[in-house]
Chain A
Amino acid sequence: MLRLRLYQLALRLYPALYRERFGEEMVAVFRELQAEVVSRGVLPQSRFFVRETAGVVAGALREHGRVWGGEHVWLLFSSRRFTMHTEFRFPKATAVLMTIILAGVVLAIQKGEAIQASVPYANPPVGSIHPVHSTLLPGVVIGLASFYAAGLIGWAILFALRRSGVHRLDETSAK
């Protein structure tokens, strides 16, 4: 029951239109699969749940990428190692890590709600609120921009030296 609830929570990561189109069906299929693995022991159940959650997280990312900028835009965020393939293979380690992060976020939300419910009046009266400009967001944006700029420069150097993935693939094909 908890796993089904978590799965339904994870489905909220998808764009609303996608959820409307496939959400119910996905839950129904998840229910059938869960009923099947429930008698197989803890390990197969855990493996099933991790696979399902990772699949949903990866799928939601892909759908948001598509909504944001088209079918293949999210390939910009992958390395050449993956895009050299005719299909994108989502690295298993990343999927597991994302599942752990998702579980952490869900648990943190639940914990927060529990704390909020247990404290009847937690907010003391405050005076007038003055807006404070966050310094975190620009830092994150600059950090990401620097990261991609460094990646682009690195790739440009490799391309100029004819050592990029495309050139290596060409060399391999020519042999």
Chain B
Amino acid sequence: MAWYDMSPEATMEFLPLTEPVLLILLSLAGQPRHGYSILKDVEQMSDGRVTLSTGTLYGALRRLLDEEWIERFKEQESSRGRQAYRLTARGRRNLQFEVGRMKHLTRLANLRIAVKEA
């Protein structure tokens, strides 16, 4: 299957996303961020439950860059010219796909639990 294949089947190859990857993508969904900012945002979003090491973060960023879900650019505002990351159209689409999948699962789970309790 080619990497540029945007079909649902191709997307499913990468889903479900691991929690760290999902949190990294959600962190970048709001605004572009650099490495440290992503780590802090992931920690905050998960109420301190997920604390990524730099090794884990950059391993995930490397894979996401290679799959073109995110892209890297030099921060203009930063005096140090730090590298920052942002979602690509492909990454945003796949994130939406994953969130939709999770919504469906949650809805289904709620229905099943409700039926069982009734």
Q: How many A-B contacts at CB < 8 Å in the complex?
A: 56
Contact B36 A32, beta carbon cutoff 8 Å: yes
Bound-state Cα–Cα, A21 to B58, Å? 10
Total interface residues on A, using CB and 8 Å?
24
The interface residues of chain A lying within 8 Å CB-to-CB of B18 are 86-87
Q: Which residue of B lies closest to A58 (CB)?
A: B55
The interface residues of chain B lying within 8 Å CB-to-CB of A54 are 53, 55
What does DSSP make chain A's interface, helix, strand, loop or mixed?
helix
Confirm or deny: A55 has a beta carbon within 8 angstroms of a beta carbon on chain B: yes
Contact A55 B83, beta carbon cutoff 8 Å: no
The interface residues of chain B lying within 8 Å CB-to-CB of A29 are 35-36, 39, 54, 57
Known contacts A28-B82, A56-B53, A86-B16; is A22 also within 8 Å of B39 by CB?
no
Contact B59 A63, beta carbon cutoff 8 Å: yes
**CB<8 Å pairs between A and B, sample of 27:** A18-B62, A21-B62, A22-B62, A25-B35, A26-B35, A26-B58, A29-B35, A29-B36, A29-B39, A33-B36, A33-B39, A33-B54, A52-B53, A52-B54, A52-B55, A55-B52, A55-B55, A55-B56, A56-B55, A57-B55, A59-B56, A59-B58, A59-B59, A63-B59, A71-B63, A86-B16, A87-B18
